[in-house]
């Protein structure tokens, strides 16, 4: 079954790319969304008992990379929906999950930074908040948000950080998506205003109750989300280098008498860029294998393993952005014009601004290194 998801993603690449060219800066086309849904790609992370694939970490990375290679925006939207749906499938209450998955694996979007508030109302909460980056919200069935619970007056308890989702029709879209890259994700700002959600439609961000699916869900939101970002970075960077090699077969730079493919300077640069991608991807894969093996063996989350996973995701994303920038420069004015390489350039740089590519994880990783550093280098 794992191979069928990856094969489906590969078979859809040409179609996804063609629709991306046709769409331009418009949202990911409905045809692309429906094709990915029909292939079951939005359910790759969802627990099997809910009709999903519940793929391992590397398999999830590979599927998202294949779609992102075809179109960065489509891959980003796939990542956002697949992870969101999987989390609620694994952690939300039974009654709500029965509703959310009543017609199969749904489509979802949302920003889960704690930009909203939750006020207790009977067996649930009243949710309000202002959110950004609702990638794929134009086709989503459910839209999520992160909230902090309101603390009763006089209580010393800290607010709880919850994830929740509401039906798309209860959300007000505010637009405001005029950006450099990932334009077709249509990651609009949105408002949730005094919407009731049952407690079963929520879970604790830091310590969710694991109700469905295998042990991988014990890794929690941070590690599982990192897998999607790592796959996106690898896919977009791979496409950029492939496009550069296609260009090199027929491109002659001004002042040169040979095709790029016959220039030793170009070949050295290409070999270096390819080595950098393979090196970054190899370390990233190593850390995700360690995380998966650790949770399956011990049932516990190793903080140092989690730190390495998140840092390897930062590294492959930032390395990817720099690799694509060099590919863009090597392609000369061909990269300047509208086309796949320009799209990769814009998309990877947009993705590199996300929290999962930020220095925050690098600092945590470095602190772990110092905490475990030996007294003597020998």
Q: Report the mean per-residue pLDDT for the chain.
A: 96
Cα 311-233-37 angle, rounded to 5 deg: 120
pLDDT of residue 257: 83
Torsion of CA 207, 222, 35, 191, to 10 degrees: 70
Cβ 42 vs Cβ 60: under 8 Å: no
Q: Terminal CA-to-CA distance of the chain, rounded, Å?
A: 48
Task: State mean pLDDT over 253-280.
Answer: 94
Q: Give the predicted TM-score (pTM) of the model.
A: 0.96
Backbone dihedral angles phi then psi of residue 121, each to the nearest 5 degrees: -145, 95
User: Exposed, middle or buried, 232 (CB in 10 Å: 0-12/13-18/19+)?
Assistant: buried
pLDDT of residue 2: 63
Domains identified in the chain and CATH numbers: 2-100 (1.10.540.10), 108-204 (2.40.110.10), 215-371 (1.20.140.10)
pLDDT in tens, 145-165: 999 999 888 778 899 999 999
Cβ 58 vs Cβ 286: under 8 Å: no
Residues 6+ apart with CB under 8 A from 263: 253, 256
Cβ 323 vs Cβ 240: under 8 Å: yes
What is the Cα Rg of the chain in Å?
21
Among the listed ranges 76-90, 104-118, 151-165, 194-208, which one has the minimum average pLDDT value?
151-165
The two tokens of residue 238 are 């791979």
Task: State mean pLDDT over 335-340.
Answer: 94
Please tell me the distance from the alpha carbon of residue 329 to that of residue 251, in angstroms, as a whole number.
Answer: 13
């Amino acid at each position: 079954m794992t191979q069928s998801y990856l094969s489906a993603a590969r078979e859809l690449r040409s179609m996804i790319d063609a629709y991306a060219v046709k769409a331009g800066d418009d949202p990911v086309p409905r045809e692309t969304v429906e094709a990915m849904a029909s292939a079951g790609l939005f359910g790759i992370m969802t627990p099997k008992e809910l009709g999903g694939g519940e793929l391992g970490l590397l398999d999830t990375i590979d599927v998202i990379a294949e779609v992102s290679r075809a179109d960065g925006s489509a891959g980003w939207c796939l990542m956002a929906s697949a992870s969101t749906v999987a989390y609620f499938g694994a952690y939300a209450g039974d009654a709500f999950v029965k509703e959310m998955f009543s017609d199969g694996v749904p489509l979802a979007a949302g920003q889960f930074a704690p930009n909203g508030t939750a006020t207790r109302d009977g067996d649930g909460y009243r949710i309000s908040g202002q959110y950004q980056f609702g990638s794929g919200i134009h086709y989503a069935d459910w839209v999520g948000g992160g909230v902090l619970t309101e603390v009763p007056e006089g209580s010393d308890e800290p607010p709880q950080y919850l994830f929740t989702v509401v039906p798309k029709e209860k959300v007000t879209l505010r637009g405001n998506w005029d950006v450099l890259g990932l334009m077709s994700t249509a990651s609009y700002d949105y408002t949730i205003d005094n919407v009731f959600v049952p407690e079963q439609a929520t879970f604790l961000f830091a310590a969710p109750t694991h109700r469905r699916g295998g042990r991988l869900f014990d890794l929690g939101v941070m590690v599982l989300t990192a897998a999607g970002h790592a796959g996106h970075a690898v896919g977009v960077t791979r496409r950029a280098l492939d496009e550069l090699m296609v260009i090199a077969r027929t491109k002659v730079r001004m002042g040169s008498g040979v095709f790029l493919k016959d220039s030793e300077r170009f070949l050295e640069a290409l070999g270096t860029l390819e080595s950098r991608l393979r090196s970054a991807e190899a370390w990233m894969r190593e850390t995700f294998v360690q995380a998966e093996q650790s949770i399956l063996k011990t049932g516990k989350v190793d903080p140092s393993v989690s730190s390495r996973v998140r840092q390897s995701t930062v590294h492959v994303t930032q390395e990817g952005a720099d690799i694509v920038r060099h590919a863009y420069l090597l392609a000369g004015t061909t990269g300047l014009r509208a086309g796949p390489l320009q799209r990769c350039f814009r998309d990877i740089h947009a993705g590199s601004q996300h929290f999962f590519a930020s220095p925050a994880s690098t600092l945590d990783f470095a602190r772990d290194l110092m905490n475990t550093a030996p007294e003597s280098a020998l």
